[in-house]
Chain A
Amino acid sequence: MQRSTGLLLVSALALSTAACGSGGEPAPSAGGAKAVSITVACQPAKSAPKERQAWDDDVAAFMKAHPGVTVKSTDQQPCFDPKTFGPKLAGGQMETAFVVPVTNYNDVIGKGQALDITPYTNLIKNWNDLRQDHKELVTKDGKVYGVPNVHYSVGLVYNRALFTKAGLNPDAPPKTWAEVREAAKKIAGLGPGYVGYGEYSGGNTGGWHFTQAIYGRGGDILTPDNKKAAFNSPEGKAVLQTLHDMRWVDNSMGTKLLVGWESLMVAMGSGKVGMMLGAPDVVTDVVNKFKGNVADYGITGFPEAKASLSGGEAFMINPKATPEEAKAALEWIDFRFNTVGKGRFDFARGKSIGNPVGVPDNAVYGDSPTGKAIQADRVKNASLPVANYESYVQAAGTIPPKAEPLHAQELYAILDVAMSGVLSRKDASIDQLLADAETKANAVLAAKG
């Protein structure tokens, strides 16, 4: 009995090892053509059941229209997580079609972590209408590595309900930093727990928002040759000084440091934060993922903006995908993400399930015929007064977009220290914080060559 127990254990281990290592070729489809199985990222989370159902319906419709193609969805949130990206790809767990934010395009393409899809771009029926500047971002040495999926520029997201409550006019949001400070003071004055202006201080998001703010003021992170840090400048000092004064002189930023993307989104969703820097997708995420009240949020242009940090994302294809898998994945991307009136652009469905339709959360098609058709359909099905976003749309059209700096993540980590410094210490020396960050950034830039 004892012997058989040992043998069973060893056999079980051997079998489980074999099972783990087994692969499996897709079986031929009923029609005889070779079946293709693809995995696609970004299925909405279970906490958003209506959006998830809409996604699942799209998957079923796509599979019906493409016999022999099996689509499996993954619901990791956020869709792109740099922490798991490399290991997933190396371990064969990366989806066939995955999302990459603009911050990571160069990195992913440079490391050969995305497939060259130049031969397949004709599968995206509106390819020619996608913004040229975004197509250039996913192109290297004449080869295309992604399908631009989202484009936005940064503005000022604000809570209209709090503006009203604080006696401010939600239809006349702040246009200058002085007005932002005044509005923040009034909102914080509503009582304990109210925060006039929310800002990040860690998890690389502090540096990211510093970059947004300094770009808006006309400053820069790096010198034009990308060899030296350029943020120890009057614009950089103004960014930190404003935050310091709002935190310690006006007491309008709350007492809690916000570390990581989710922290500020949760606070914004709670309905007690008045303003934050962000793109229109912040409104969509706050409503869909963080239970914000859809009618409460508005967005306006970046105060006194001279430039806007350009953001967005693209779909890329797993470099290990076979040509059949790559084609099927691109057909899925076209079906779900690039067809007017279908998938994510099915605004009528979005309205019926309570999505904040009307938020100008994506301008990846710009003013092209496709872009105009999408905007017309969005306005037609709007569940919100689109006028609430008009000032952002007007501003976004006039403010020049500006790309993220080279070695963005390393620099953001360094700038987190300066952001957390002014937000956690009343006696923080802004000159010293910027000088220290500059020294560190220059050391990193020198080491990176």
Chain B
Amino acid sequence: MQILRRNLTAYGFLCAALACFTVFAWYPMVREFILSFQKTDLINEPIWVGLDNFVTAFQDPAFGEAWLNTLEFTFLALLCGYAVPFVVALVLNELRHARAYLRFVVYLPVMLPPIVAVLLFRWFYDPGPGLFNQVLDAFGLPPLAWLDSSSTALISLVIVSTWMNMGSATLIYLAALQNIPPELYEAAELDGAGIWKRIRHVTIPQTRLILLLMLMLQIVATMQVFIEPYMLTGGGPENATVTVAYLMFQNAFTLQDYGSAGALGMMLMIVLLVFAAFQLRLTREDKA
């Protein structure tokens, strides 16, 4: 009883956190799981339909395109969004001057509400007065269709996503880099290691855990890409930017088919759970 009283404040905070998770995370997850096996309009009594919603989602003509686009987006976003922040963090870590200022500049896009950032890029990508085509024009290069061509639309979304999210990843990498004991670098330098060998034999092994964690987090985040196609392309042109999360949204809120949207959500969750399990296993092996 005394222990309980002593920790009352802690329990209070714990309850608040648990309430938030329950209301905003766990309950919606359970609800979605149930929805994926029901036919419902959210008004009348739902009907249990077994796996029908999964069959409906699978038979959707855009199903295959959505998964391929999501995988392509994830691959490209990782290529840019995983490597670029790490390199930026390495450079920032090496800087002796203006480090705080540059760190702020790199983090600035994260402080913009995503919707503002996306609208900013809508203007950048405008085929007429847009910034990017004006820059290309200044260099005597032909304009690009950016969002208006099925061959460039997806990579255009990757650029937006990378720009919006790079700041957070860079700061996390920077924190990890600053935790590496300087003696290791000094020892490597004494052994005659150059910058590449120091990165390969000191930096990467020392940040392996955080790199793995970020890999998993970025896969989970990028596979759920929604706001970019929703705001910039509406899934087009020619379904070139339809992603699984966008398709879920379409099914649920345009077609009012909450069941197949829930089924798609469950499929996406299972795929992401596989990545999470893989990451956990790697982390354990690393600790062992």
Where the two chains meet, the residues of A that have a C-beta atom closer than 8 Å to any C-beta of B are 2-3, 5-7, 9-10, 13, 82-87, 89-90, 107, 111-113, 192-193, 201-204, 206, 254-257, 259-260, 319, 409-410, 413-414, 416-417, 420-421, 423-425, 439-440, 443-444, 447
Contact = CB atoms under 8 A, between A and B. Distances in A.
Contacts of A319: 43
B253 A7 contact: no
A193 B147 CA distance: 18
A256 B238 contact: no
A75 to B, nearest CB: 20
B127 to A, nearest CB: 4
Contacts of A420: 150, 236-238
B156 to A, nearest CB: 12
Which 3 pairs show the lowest CB-CB distances between chains A and B?
A6-B12, A90-B42, A6-B9
Interface in B121-137: 126-129
B234 A260 contact: yes
B8 interface: yes
Contacts of B178: none
Given A82-B256, A409-B255, A447-B56, A424 B13 contact: no
B254 A90 contact: no
Contact of B256 (A7, A85, A255, A443): A85
A444 B235 CA distance: 19
Nearest to A192: B128
B61 interface: yes
A424 B253 contact: no
B256 A6 contact: no
Output the residue of A259, A410, A413, A423 with the most chain B CB within 10 A.
A413
A255 B56 contact: no
A72 B210 CA distance: 53
Nearest to A428: B238
Contacts of B41: 86, 111-113
Given A85-B256, A424-B148, A425-B237, 9 more contacts: A6-B8, A86-B258, A89-B42, A202-B233, A255-B127, A256-B128, A409-B255, A413-B255, A440-B61
B2 interface: no
Interface string B227-261: 00000011111110000000000100111101000
A136 to B, nearest CB: 24
Contact of B13 (A6, A413, A443): A6
B5, B42, B59, B61: which has the most chain A beta carbons within 10 Å?
B61
Contacts of B145: 255, 424
B265 to A, nearest CB: 15
A424 B149 contact: yes
Given A89-B42, A255-B148, A423 B9 contact: no
Interface string B1-22: 0000100111111011001000
